[in-house]
Structure 1
Amino acid sequence: MRNISGRQLLAAVIFLAATLVLTVQLINPTPVVVSVGDNGSDVVEAGEQFRYTEVGIITVAAWVMGASMLYLVVSVERGSVLTEPSTTTSSAESSVQTDGTERPVHLEFTDDVNSLVERHRTQFDETTDRLDDTEREIYSMVLDADGKIQQREIVADTDFSKATVTRTLDSLETKGLLERKRQGVGNVVVLQESASP
C-alpha cells in the first residue's frame, strides 16, 4: 500500500468539499415566486431556477473538483511508474521523494546483473579500443555505477551537453553496449545483455 503525501491528502479534501458544494447547489435551486393581482396578494410559485451566482458556484465547484481529481490521478500514476521495479533489478527505490526533490537511486542487483557487469568489465579493454573518447567516458560511467545510471546524472556529472549524451547513447546502443529504459519522467541507462566485443 502506498503512503499518501500531504499534497494528495489536500487534493482529496478539496475534491470532497467541491463535490459537497456542487451536490448541495444542484439539489437546491431557488424557487421563483410570482405575485399576481392588483395588490400582490396572490403568490404563485412558477418553478425552480438557478440564479447567476448559483451557476457561478456550480461552475467553480465543478472546475475545482475536476482539477483536484486530475491531480490525484496523475500523482498516483506518476508514483506507480516511479516505484515500478525494473526488469534488471531485484528492487529499486523511487528517485523522487514525497516533497518532489530527487534523491540518488539505490539499487540492489541480482546475480544475473552482477555477472552482466563482470562480463562487460572483462571485455572493457577490447571494447573501448573501438570507441571514441566520449563513448568511452559514458560507457565507463555506466560500468562504475554497477550497470545502471540515470541519463540526467550523466549530463550532470560530465561536461557534455544533453544532445551530445543522447547522440553518444544512440551510438552505444547501436554497438550493443548500452540501452535506455524509461523510468518516470527520464531514462535509465543500463548495460545490454549481449555485449558484443
Structure 2
Amino acid sequence: MKLPNTAHTSPPWRIHEITPDFRLYDVWALPTPGGPGDFPRLVRQTASGDTADNPSRAARALFAIRWKLGELLGWDTRDSGVGSRVPTLRDRLPADLRDGPSGPEFDRLPFSSVYLTDDEWASEMANRTVHAVMHLAWVPDDTGGHRGQMAVLVKPNGLFGKVYMAAIAPFRHLVVYPPLMRRIAQTWQAGSPAA
C-alpha cells in the first residue's frame, strides 16, 4: 500500500542525515507482517530479488525494455555508476554507521548496500539518469506487530534525469509496484527469498 511521504519523513531515520539533496519519490507499506526480529529476513529477501522474476508479464517487459535501452544508449555503463559518476553515499556516513555493517550485496539487481542497522537498511544505485536510494525500515504496525516499509529517494542527473523520472512515474505506480507488492507478500508468506 502506498503511504504518505510523512511515513518516511517523520521518523528519525538515519537516512535523513545523508540524503538531504535527494527527493523522496515513493513510500510503501510492505506486506511483510512479523515480529521485532524479522527485519534481517526482509533484508535477505530483498537482496536476492530479480526484476526478471516479477509475476507481471507487463512489468517484466518494462524492465527488459529499460535494461535494453540502457545498454543501447549507454545509460548503465560502469563509468555511470556509484564510485564513478557519483561518489558512494558511504562517504557521507557518520563514523558509527561507516564502522558498522553495510548490509548484504545484491545477487542480481544493480544496487550496493550503504548501511544496515537493527531497523534500517539503505542501498544505492546510479546510472546516467539518476542516483537512487532504496531505504527499507522495520516499523510497528496497527496489530501490535511489525512490517517492512520501503522508501525510494532519487537525485536525478540534470534535466534528462528529471524528465526520465516524470516519464516513468505512471509505469512505476500502475505496472511495477502492484505486482511487486503481491510478489513480496507471496514470498514472505512462503518464507523464501523475494524477487
Over alpha carbons, which structure has the higher Rg? 1
Q: Which has the higher contact order (CA 8 A, sep 6+)?
A: 2
With the length of structure 2 as denominator, give the TM-score of the two structures. 0.28
